[in-house]
Chain A
């Protein structure tokens, strides 16, 4: 049913409108949240311990003090200090504890990689995770450990750190903080918020965004650009979840490949999106980028766990280049449209490029070992900016379609009105044509009938040789004809009998005065709706004239009128028969002959035929009229039946 379909369509549109509003509020809220995260509080850290020594050996317990420890200064980034070196190592850190702090001290390590476990005075404190494959992934996770009071002695104590890392993967140990929980816990928490919690939040937002966009893309059949954008956000969500996971369920190589590959797919999908967003197509470039999305993970996989991080550095560099290209595309769009949304988009793009460069350089050891990676503040912001733009487009499209609908409706209304007006004009023209035709007919009838009769009467009266009774007769004829005209104008709907009946009512008194009895003998006649008034008038005139002749000339005592449908149903027979002298016996044969000719002509004009039988014992006048259309003519007026 159409109304139901309409309702469905309308509610669907309402749904989209609601979605747009909700999503815009969510965008604003998450931008605010992200900025809060970015400005995480920054307490001044207590003096960190930099002096340490290292022993490149494995083992589950700290090596003895007399082992060949080599002194070094923390932080120690293996990618810088020991390129291509992987595996295990022990760090030995001596620290002094004042007697008042023996009861309550913590160890805070801003960064270690990949897996580490602390020992105080040879006893493990809070070892979590595995050193065996698949190794626990503490690659980028601040560590805080409470030192049990029983382990510490006033004065000198020793902290051992067992570390295991992959080659060129920023393995190593940052500076170490040992001291009272306040403010180290605060410092730890601020770092955890900035590096972990904030990332979880933005990942949640990204996940919701990708769901929203992908569902909208599938269900509402949005443009392909939205599909690519949804894929990019989905891949970023995957990447973040992979990075955030500490206990990895599969082999390290697969995990590391997936981490880099998901980032590759984010950037490739964003490029596909950017091109479509800008209305551009670069088939070769697109194919190359898609190929890169397959080739890069394969290369990473082929490199193996010991060389994967070197390859990853190169891949990330390529991604930054693609990112610059994407930025150029978006920048061109913004330059063209100059809308607030696209300026926001460019700003987000600059922000992402900046963070991308920062994180890549950070991997190369440009800043301190514990410098955070910040891309989780970048891409989600860009995603939100893009989403904001898309919503703007959807809203604009919706507005445009509404405007178009309104315009269409207005145009339809206008056209309808025009049509109505032209119909009105046609109707008016039609009516005036009908009116003109009718007026012309009445004029002609008056001219033929009462008009000429009046003029003739006037001429006779002028000559003075007219007796008053003759004058009355002539004027009566005028009035009779006028009445006939009025009768013929009645909306009789082709009811010939009624009009003949009217004529009879008028004539009967006159006949009675002459001593003539009238035998009225009519049977039902078919309706004659298309009989024009002019023809009706002619028929009535023939009948009236026949009766007038009877009254004037026939000297009859009886006249019979009959009307009937012929047996073949194709014509109507009207007949007036009197018992008078007959035509031949009348005195003014010439006048009567002219009158009869007139009547015959009238009969022919309506497609009928007049038959006059002037026998000696009376006169019979019969009019045959075709029942069917007048055009069919004489064939219908067959007297044989």
Chain B
């Protein structure tokens, strides 16, 4: 089963859950691990069996989808977490990215977009939007402005190229155009985005540790 991508769906709305499940089922290279409707079920499924992709709604009846994402990333470091939002508004997306998600999907996406996003993720890329790019840039520049802040660690600072990519995304340019403008391949742009998300996750974890130590919780 190495060729098949195992997908776990956590979505409380039965209609959407059904829709996502049928999209996954209809595709030959995807395997549906489970389709559940709550945080608790999602986490217990993750503990029971591995998954390659987690498709998770943020607003779940018994908790925050970001917690499921965080737990999934902890249990299965190779897992790609994809959060589902209705509008792609930046506050929700940023929260899930910081929890370790590497992508997000609009609920009304067409099945083709749906499949394309999962494939992009598995291929090492990540979806992004201009507002998210801008917010990520702000997040990192704020960290570097605080002299005692956690983001001073160079391993979680953005590289010059990553900043360029984000800058172009924030102006509305898409992957192929950015690749063209920067003279790099489309795939490199995609992996830049995924790296940026991972740095965001690490830096937000560092920030949490920093905050905790500042508050003498650690």
Contact = CB atoms under 8 A, between A and B. Distances in A.
Contact of A486 (B89, B169, B177): B89
B171 interface: yes
A495 B133 CA distance: 12
A486 B89 CA distance: 7
A501 B133 CA distance: 11
Contact of B177 (A483, A499, A509, A520): A520
Nearest to B138: A493
5 contacts: A486-B87, A487-B131, A495-B134, A495-B170, A504-B174
Contacts of B173: 501, 520
B56 to A, nearest CB: 21
A498 B113 contact: no
A71 B90 CA distance: 133
B89 A502 contact: no
A505 B177 CA distance: 13
Interface string A481-524: 01100110010100101111111110011000000000010101
A278 interface: no
B172 interface: yes
A508 B133 CA distance: 18
A479 interface: yes
Contact of B130 (A482, A483, A498): A498
A509 B131 CA distance: 18
B108 interface: yes
Contact of B131 (A482, A502, A508): A502
A498 B168 CA distance: 10
Contacts of A503: 172
Interface residues of A, number: 22
A498 B134 contact: yes
Contact of A501 (B89, B90, B108, B130): B130
Nearest to B169: A501
Nearest to B168: A501
Given A479-B108, A490-B89, A495-B170, A505 B113 contact: no
B129 interface: yes
A502 B171 CA distance: 9
B90 A490 contact: yes
A483 B87 contact: yes
Interface string B49-82: 0000000000000000000000000000000000
A141 B30 CA distance: 131
B114 to A, nearest CB: 12
B174 A505 contact: yes
B172 A501 contact: yes
Interface in B90-141: 90, 108, 110, 113, 129-131, 133-134
A524 B172 CA distance: 11
A483 B90 CA distance: 12
Nearest to B116: A509
Given A495-B170, A497-B171, A502 B87 contact: no
B35 to A, nearest CB: 25
Nearest to A561: B172
B113 A520 contact: no
B130 A505 contact: yes
A524 B130 CA distance: 14
A498 B134 CA distance: 7
A502 B106 CA distance: 13
A274 B177 CA distance: 102
Contacts of B169: 501
A10 to B, nearest CB: 35
Contacts of A495: 134, 170
Of residues B108, B113, B130, B169, which shows the largest number of chain A Cβ atoms within 10 Å of its Cβ? Answer: B130
Interface in B156-195: 169-174, 177
Contact of B171 (A487, A492, A501): A501
Interface of B: 87-90, 108, 110, 113, 129-131, 133-134, 169-174, 177
A502 B108 contact: no
Q: At the interface, is chain A mostly helix, strand, loop or mixed?
A: helix
Interface string A470-487: 000000000100110011
B177 A501 contact: no
B113 A502 contact: no
A289 B173 CA distance: 104
Interface in A504-563: 504-505, 508-509, 520, 522, 524
A500 B108 CA distance: 21
Contacts of B171: 497-498, 501, 522, 524
Given A482-B87, A487-B131, A490-B89, A500 B172 contact: yes
Nearest to B110: A509
Contacts of B87: 482-483, 486
A502 B130 contact: yes
Contacts of A501: 129-131, 169-173
B172 A509 contact: no
B196 to A, nearest CB: 16
A502 to B, nearest CB: 5
A492 B131 contact: yes
B175 to A, nearest CB: 11
Query: Which 7 residue pairs across A and B have the least CB separation, nearest first?
Result: A501-B172, A501-B130, A504-B172, A498-B130, A497-B171, A498-B134, A498-B170
A373 to B, nearest CB: 81
B170 A508 contact: no
Nearest to A501: B172
Nearest to A525: B171
Nearest to B170: A498
Contacts of B110: 509
A499 B113 contact: no
Contacts of B134: 492, 495, 498
A482 B106 CA distance: 14
B172 A490 contact: no
B95 to A, nearest CB: 14
Contacts of B130: 497-499, 501-502, 504-505
B99 to A, nearest CB: 20
Nearest to B128: A505
B2 to A, nearest CB: 31
A525 to B, nearest CB: 9
Given A498-B171, A504-B172, 19 more contacts: A482-B87, A483-B87, A490-B90, A490-B131, A492-B131, A492-B134, A495-B134, A495-B170, A497-B130, A498-B131, A498-B134, A500-B172, A501-B129, A501-B170, A501-B173, A502-B129, A505-B129, A509-B113, A520-B173
A500 B173 CA distance: 10
A194 B129 CA distance: 109
B131 A499 contact: yes
Contacts of A497: 130, 170-172
Contacts of B174: 504-505, 508, 520
A323 B88 CA distance: 101
Contact of A498 (B88, B108, B172): B172
Contacts of A500: 172
Contacts of A499: 130-131
A124 to B, nearest CB: 98
Contacts of B129: 501-502, 505
B90 to A, nearest CB: 6
A520 B172 contact: yes
A482 B86 CA distance: 11
Nearest to B108: A479
Contacts of B108: 479
A558 to B, nearest CB: 15
B165 to A, nearest CB: 13
A17 B36 CA distance: 80
Of residues B88, B89, B90, B131, which shows the largest number of chain A Cβ atoms within 10 Å of its Cβ? Answer: B131
Nearest to A509: B113
A479 B89 CA distance: 14
A501 B130 CA distance: 6
